[in-house]
Homo-oligomer: A and B are copies of this chain.
Amino acid sequence: MPGVDRSYARHFAVRSAAARPAGTSLQSRSPWSRATALPAGLKTNLRVAYAFSGPCLDLEDFEFDAIDSLEADAERAAYGALASLKLVRIRSAGQRTIVRVKGVEIGGDRFVVMAGPCAVESERQVMETAEAVARAGARVLRGGGFKPRTSPYNFQGLGLEGLKLLRKAGDAFGLPVISEAMSDSQVELVAEYADIIQVGTRSMENAALLATLGRCSRPVLLKRGMVASVEELLQAAEVLLANGNPHVILCERGIRTLGKLTRNTCDIVAVPLLHQLTHLPVIVDPSHATGRRSLVPALARAAVAIGAEGLLVEVHPSPKTALSDAAQSLAIPEFRRMMHRLEPYLKLWSEEHALDETAAPAARR
């Protein structure tokens, strides 16, 4: 249906179902026969809802009570958007997924900084970066072997050789490593070397890749698509979970808008919004979100303050000569300064996090 906002169609279907008189039931799989026990008016409404939402509408899923007040509505609307998302949506305020990888917990009690070069370029580059970011407090090493580039004539990454160097650097400095797989046919290879597999922004809707990663045991970091809505990000995560992989981290990395002075527009409000909607951890990539190193530390602060579970930051020993993302990579001293300046904000983060866990589990979100 053209221009139909399916989430709200489902939302209305929820409410139609909620209005079902006591003693009736919705049994059959055929939506019209299902509705036979209902009064005529309501039947029409269900039919309308069905028309809008199609065969994937699962009415049995809807167990909301009648809506009591306008106040509750905005909240419900968001949940309604998740009607078809059985696995990623949050079901209670305390529910929360912690992704564990080699002793690091993403979504747990400590904020997690992942850092490293955009692309692995040489052993020296990745070793030097790994050592520096580990010392400054990063707990996961990032680095690309396979690079999705827009031009066939640009540097495409070192491939397998890059993955091996990343692995070596991570092992040398005690950091689990994260790297991107660009295709279902690459998953097995990347999974051999990386502890977390990244789905890049260009791949968020790559159904074959998502299905394969869903059947893989490695944690997945799922980056939001360049112009994907929050609902679409969650739908992509649902594919991973529905295929069997519960270890999913979401990543806000900026969306494409009309501005030209920054590479993307960071939708920072997506962080608390996702916390209202899903139990999965959410991190922010301030490097891609801004595209300019001078803006990365400020956005990192905001990400901590708004409650993200971590950061993914590009760091390079010599940004000027970086083969990709030169303008947005922090030099090592810049990364150190950023980490230092984040400290008081991380202290506030931890205090609020502890509060959530004990007295008021719902407060933080």
Q: A89 at the A/B interface (Cβ < 8 Å)?
A: no
Count contacts on A: residues with CB < 8 A to the other chain. Answer: 117
Option from B18, B75, B227 in Cβ contact (under 8 Å) with A226: B227
In the assembled complex, the CB of A153 is this many whole angstroms from the nearest CB of chain B, namely 5
Residues of B within 8 A of A319 (CB): 70-71
A41, closest chain B residue (CB)? B19
In the assembled complex, the CB of A341 is this many whole angstroms from the nearest CB of chain B, namely 8
Known: A2-B261, A8-B9. A299 touches B48 (CB 8 A): no
- Give the CA-CA distance A296 to B9 in the complex, in Å: 24
Q: A269 at the A/B interface (Cβ < 8 Å)?
A: yes
Q: Are A259 and B230 in contact (CB under 8 A)?
A: yes
Q: A28 at the A/B interface (Cβ < 8 Å)?
A: no
Q: Are A151 and B84 in contact (CB under 8 A)?
A: yes
Q: A229 at the A/B interface (Cβ < 8 Å)?
A: yes
Q: A354 at the A/B interface (Cβ < 8 Å)?
A: no
Option from B56, B71, B292 in Cβ contact (under 8 Å) with A151: B56
Q: Are A51 and B73 in contact (CB under 8 A)?
A: yes
Residues of B within 8 A of A255 (CB): 257-258, 265
Q: Are A48 and B67 in contact (CB under 8 A)?
A: yes
- Give the CA-CA distance A188 to B74 in the complex, in Å: 38
Residues of B within 8 A of A1 (CB): 73-74, 77, 291, 326-327
- Give the CA-CA distance A8 to B2 in the complex, in Å: 12
Interface string of A166-194 (1 = CB under 8 A from B): 00000000000000001111100000000
Q: Are B326 and A261 in contact (CB under 8 A)?
A: no
Option from B3, B70, B152, B261 in Cβ contact (under 8 Å) with A3: B261
